[in-house]
Amino acid sequence: MKIERIEQFFPRPRVRLVKITTDDGLVGWGETTLEGKPKSTMAAVEELADYLIGKDPLRLEHHWQHIYRSAFFRGGNVLMTALSGIDQALWDIAGKYYGVPVYKLLGGAVRDRIRVYAHWGIRDLSEEGLARARERLDRLQQMGYTAFKSGPGGKWRGHEPPAVIDHFVRCAYTMREWVGPEVELAFDFHGKMTPALAIEICHEIKGMRPMFVEEPVPQENVDALKLVSDHVPFPIATGERLLTRWGFREVFEKQAVAYIQPDVSHCGGITELKKIANMAEVYYMHILPHCAIGPVAFTASMHVDAVVPNFLAQEQVDQGLGHGLLQEPWQVVDGYIELPTQPGLGIEVDEEAAARTVPYTEELGGEFYHDDGSVADW
């Protein structure tokens, strides 16, 4: 069996797909979405296709090694996202070839269903804002979700006056009042705080018992992250912008967080996500795989979640379930998704829907500045 064809699709903002077809007609799908960089990974996949066409698709680890290590320069989010999507598509082919879901090739499931968490929060305390938040919460709770994540949003300078901090703190405590003590609530700081501000805010919200705070500071400086963790009495998480085991090594060795959040479409695909998760187990860290993109990446994540003992919950955004892109979108029942049962990734992409291309500009994030004209973090 040989790889015959590699095609790419861009059906929505934050959803780019790669389809690999073999000479005996097997098809594998992967997701190469790199948020805010809509053209780069498509170009990278085109380059990698020259290497892959004519090769045996079942030599997954070999191809991973070649793509990562050849041509001298390693890593970076563009190459790793292209590699991640290709890796997912090759696993899809391997599962179909052997006639089993991918997680059975990864060692077999250690759980029967995957706990997912949804995005929900209160950001606006006005009557209309609260009504909107209540409506979404009711809908999500009817689906059985037991964990939610939101964030402070907006632009944060090096420090903010009490009114800004207090508003976020009031939102957090209102959320806890609404959901009660059985539900977990997490906050994503999007790496836009300084260590001091992150620690200050975490202390203000510690009484409502967050599940975790994600990316309190940017990802480049592990000592700064460790500083936050050491001063906060609840779990800190990070990792959506870290790539490969080597990218996580320092986080592990410094015990810089409680939870890691590798993204299956950035960190190196199914192959690398499982290795990172297995490394995390040694450090008593759980994984909360990041996934704020499309349904193929979401599905790929679930196959790793199924086989990793130190899995806590899977991030899931509305479009991850696949409505309008998968023939059979995923269903959340009582806060969980049942393991896929079909061979490969266990999904069928609606190719007609996938073939609708959106303009690249729809995904560009725009320009984001503070009042004084200086650049703000998104």
Residues that bind Mg ion (CB under 5 A): 188
Question: CA 6 to CA 280: how far, in whole Å?
Answer: 33
Least Cβ distance, residue 213 to Mg ion (angstroms): 11
State yes or no: is 370 an active-site residue: no
Least separation in angstroms between residue 292's CB and Mg ion is 7
Q: DSSP 3-state helix, strand, coil percentages of the chain (rounded to 5)?
A: 40, 15, 40
Task: Pull the structure tokens for residue 113.
Answer: 């269903």
Residues with Cβ within 8 Å of residue 55, at least 6 apart in sequence = 2, 3, 63
CB of 123 to Mg ion, least distance (A): 15
- In the complex with Mg ion, which residue's Cβ is closer, 11 or 151? 151
CA pseudo-torsion sign 217, 258, 117, 323: positive
Least Å from the CB of residue 100 to Mg ion: 32
For 377, residues 6+ apart whose C-beta sits below 8 A from its C-beta are: 155, 156, 190, 191, 192, 218, 368
Is 190 one of the annotated active-site residues of the chain? yes
Q: Which is nearer to Mg ion, 188 or 363 (CB)?
A: 188
Instruction: Give the C-alpha separation, 261 to 244, whole Å.
Output: 12
> Residues 190, 266, 286, 303: which is the catalytic one?
190
CA 253 to centroid of chain Cα atoms: 23
Rounded Cα distance, 232 and 375, in Å: 28
160 versus 188: smaller Cβ distance to Mg ion: 188
Whole-number minimum distance, CB 185 to Mg ion, in Å?
Answer: 15
Using the minimum distance from each CB to Mg ion, give the nearer residue, 183 or 237.
Answer: 237
* Smallest separation (angstroms) from Mg ion to the CB of 278: 23
Q: Which is nearer to Mg ion, 22 or 316 (CB)?
A: 316
**Of 63, 266, 286, 290, catalytic:** 290
Which residue's CB comes closest to Mg ion?
A: 188
Residue with tokens 């190196």: 268
What gap in Å lies between CA 149 and CA 25, rounded to an integer? 41
**Length of the chain, in residues:** 378
Question: Given the complex with Mg ion, which of 92 and 188 has the nearer CB atom?
Answer: 188
Angstrom distance (rounded) from CA 219 to CA 77: 13
Q: With 0-12 CB in 10 A as exposed, 13-18 as middle and 19+ as buried, what is 121?
A: buried
Supply the residues annotated as catalytic: 190, 290
